[in-house]
Structures are given as C-alpha cells and as structure tokens.
Amino acid sequence: MGVIVILIIVSVLVAGGFLLAFLWSVKTGQMDDDYTPSVRILFEDELIIKKKDIL
C-alpha cells in the first residue's frame, strides 16, 4: 500500500504542473483574448512566389 503514497504525491505534482501552466498562461495574457486566436489559426499562408522564380 505504501506505493500509493508515492503515486498520490506524483499525481498531485502532475496536477500542480497543470495549475502552474494555467497560471502562466493567464499571466502571459493568453486568456486576454478568447476569440481571435481561433480565427487566426485558420488563416493559410499564401504561397510566396518570388519574382525571380517567375522570370
């Protein structure tokens, strides 16, 4: 049963890692805008054809 102690400590630490990730994302402003990024990700980069390639 003693292994449960270690497993629980590990699980709390893993969950704590996600908590830190959340706090970090809030701090760096990733939660400021919850709409535009969903649109932005759909934009395709157009093919850039350099002029010399055409010539």
Partner 1 sequence: MVYTLIEENGLCQYYDLTSMPGITAKGLFVSDKFNYLDNIAIQDQLIQFKLADQVHVVFYLPQIHCVSCVWLLEHLHKINTGIIQSTTHFEKKEIKIVYNPSLISLKQVVQLLAFVGYEPVIHLGGNDWLKKKKVNKKQLYKIGIAGFCFSNIMMLSFPEYLSNNAIELGSLRHFFIYINLLLSLPVLLYSARDFFISAYTGLRQKWLNIDAPIALAITVTFSRSVYEILSQTGAGYLDSMSGIVFFMLIGRWFQDKSYDSFAFDRDYNSFFPLGVTVLEEGKEVNKPLSALIKGELVFLRADEMIPADAILLTEGALIDYSFVTGENAPIEVAIGQLVYAGGIQKGRSIQVEVVKPVGQSYITELWNSPVLKNEKNIEKSFVHPWSQYFTIVLLIIAFSSGMYWSLYDTSKILPAVTAVLIVACPCSLLLTVTFTYGNVLRWLGNAKFYCKNAAVIEAIDKIDTIVFDKTGTLTNHEDTHLEYHGMALSETEMIAVKSVTRESLHPLSKMITQFLMLEVSDLTSFQKIENFIGKGTKALCNEYEILIGSISFLKSNGIPCDDSLQGAVVCLAINGELKGCFAVNHAYRDGMDKMVKRLQDKGYHLHLLSGDHPTEKAHLTHLLGKEIPMFFETSPADKLAYIQKLQNQGRKVMMVGDGLNDAGALKKSNVGIAVTDQTHLFTPASDAILEGREIKELHHLIDYAKKAKLIIIYIFILSILYNIIGMYFATSARLSPMVAAILMPISSISIVALSALLSFSFSYKIRPRS
Residues in touch with partner 1 (CB under 8 A): 1, 4-5, 8, 12, 15-16, 18-19, 22-23, 26-27, 29, 31-36, 39-40, 42-44, 46
Smallest distance, partner 1 to C-beta of residue 22, A: 5
Smallest distance, partner 1 to C-beta of residue 46, A: 8
Instruction: Say how far apart CA 52 and CA 12 lie, in whole Å.
Output: 58
Instruction: Say how far apart CA 26 and CA 32 lie, in whole Å.
Output: 8
37 token code pair: 């990024």
Using the minimum distance from each CB to partner 1, give the nearer residue, 46 or 53.
46
CB 13 within 8 A of CB 7: no
